[in-house]
Amino acid sequence: MSGKGKVLVAMSGGVDSSVTAVMLKEQGYEVIGITMKTWDYSSSGGNSNKETGCCTLESMNDARQVAYRYGFKHFIVDIRDEFGDWVIERFVEEYMNGRTPNPCVLCNTHIKWTAMLRRAKNLGCDYIATGHYAQVREENGRYIISRGKDRNKDQSYALWGVSQENLKHTIFPLGGYEKSEIRQLATDLGLYNVANKKDSYEICFVPDNDYRRFLRDRVDGLEDQVDGGNFVDKHGNILGKHKGYPFYTIGQRRGLHLSMGKPVYVTHIDPETNTITVGDVEDLNHTFCTARQLNMVKYDRVPEEDMHVEGAIRYNDDGKPGFLTQTGDDEIQIRFPEGRNAITPGQALVCYEGDDVIAGGWIHKVSDPVSADLVD
């Protein structure tokens, strides 16, 4: 047994996870690599030949080569059933409920960490590690996620849902590095097969990046059910017909095919009436939003009313100043004095104190300061 302990490393076959594994090996940990097969590309529809991301044969072979070269064990684990139940079904459900989902957060919270820790326990590992650009530390009895050094690659937003118990066993070796440094490290370590490998940004189970096609494939008769709903303005005036509410997202401008003489944007989606409301860009600006299904990270509760924070409302959002209040055991509300554009139900609200994640939750409703009516 290594003096530093035994660690199970999630290896996608990319540069970040490969460097993570080798870095920990050289630091004195006993490393075991694991690649999780989450999705079968042959069943993905569309252009199934476009295999990208962490579940391809090429990626698995790249991960295996790194493990072989550096002399540690590597396993491939099939978690397609778990992934389908938790992530894919909820992805579809959210669109069918008129919301815009974030499957990567669901995967991190309910699949990757849960699946990895179960395997880690079976293998006698003390820790799990991933190649995320984020940091974790213990302070006052809590495990706190904070932003990575490379703000352009920071992934703390996607990790807000990881529980305290799971963070207790988590290592993020790359949190203190820039991406360019990691690529250089890969070259220095002789990991030439991954050093210049491109990052993957697609949803892993939608390799052609066409979620509308994916929904059509997953929901029998979807187009017949939803085609021909009304576009309306904020006063309820009918402006035209649309192709079905699941195929639109808040803030969308392109693909509306409305002749309005000016740009208009999707401002509200009503799945019950299959109605899409459109308006000017100013109509996308809201001051308040509430989030539910919370995970408290830095504190067990928001410590004060109107706590000054930075609130991020989507991935790659730098965050904007806001005032956070806990309005229930499982609800927070943030007030953005300058408003935020296109706050979208189904995405996550992640609140920061400096670089530390205070809490996160799923955006439930939005409103403006004039109206007390909240919009789902």
Q: Which residue bears the tokens 């095919």?
A: 257
CA angle 303, 310, 349 (to 5 degrees): 85
> Which one of 55, 125, 204, 289 is the catalytic residue?
204
| Residue 375 tokens, joined | 């919009």
Q: Is 107 a catalytic residue?
A: yes
Query: What CA–CA distances, in Å, run from 265 to 100, 230, 235, 255?
Result: 15, 14, 15, 10
CA angle 293, 296, 300 (to 5 degrees): 125
Q: Is 104 a catalytic residue?
A: no
Contacts of 33 (CB under 8 A, 6+ apart): 8, 9, 11, 21, 63, 64, 66, 67, 72, 73, 74, 75
Whether the CB-CB separation of 208 and 49 falls below 8 Å is answered with no
Helix ranges, 229-273 (H): none
Q: Burial level of 69, CB count in 10 A (0-12/13-18/19+)?
A: middle
Helix (H, G, I), strand (E, B) or coil at 330: coil
Distance of CA 25 to the CA centre of its chain: 28
The four Cα atoms 118, 18, 174, 361 give a dihedral, to 10 degrees, of -40
Distance of CA 347 to the CA centre of its chain: 9
- Name which of 52, 67, 2 is nearest 30 in CA terms: 2
Residue 94 has φ and ψ, to the nearest 5°, of -65, -45
Q: Rounded to whole angstroms, how far apart are CA atoms 363 and 368?
A: 15
Q: CB atoms < 10 A from the CB of 255, how many?
A: 11
Q: Rounded to whole angstroms, how far apart are CA atoms 230 and 253?
A: 16
> Which one of 107, 125, 289, 351 is the catalytic residue?
107
| Residue 202 tokens, joined | 């697609």
DSSP one-letter code for 347? B
Q: Rounded to whole angstroms, how far apart are CA atoms 340 and 368?
A: 10
- The set of catalytic residues is 107, 204
